Amino acid sequence: MINLSFLFCIFMKYVTIKKVINMSEKKKELSKEQKKTNRNKMLGKALKQMRLEAKVSQASVNKQLGEPANYLSDIELGKVKIGLGTITKLCSIYNTSPARLMAYFKTGK
């Protein structure tokens, strides 16, 4: 006959292993989310640099986009994800091309 304490030990090891696996999966999900956040921040930094080079204020850009006062600030801080349409509009406002923006995004120059 199998000893109950032996079964209990096996069960507890199973539960522990399961918890470790779940924690590992959560870390992977978190790192994917962190990667997205980092990309948003890098794109925001590139957009801010382009805006500063164009000598345009956040307020005037928000007005041209028809967005609330904090919209561009949130983009430049990487708090929000933006679409291709918004990127194209911003490049037009900054008198630059999306290709130049992406080059700056990749190289920082």
What pTM does this model have? 0.67
Among 54, 55, 79, smallest CA distance to 68 is for 79
For a pLDDT cut of 70, what percent of the chain falls above it? 69
Residue 27 CA to residue 79 CA, distance in Å, equals 21
CA 51 to chain centre: 20
Q: How confident is the model at residue 99 (pLDDT cuts 50, 70, 90)?
A: confident
pLDDT at 102: 82
Average pLDDT over residues 82-94: 91
Tell me the pLDDT tens digit for each residue of 33-50.
777 778 888 889 999 999
Mean pLDDT of the chain: 82
pLDDT at 26: 65
pLDDT at 37: 75
Q: How confident is the model at residue 109 (pLDDT cuts 50, 70, 90)?
A: low
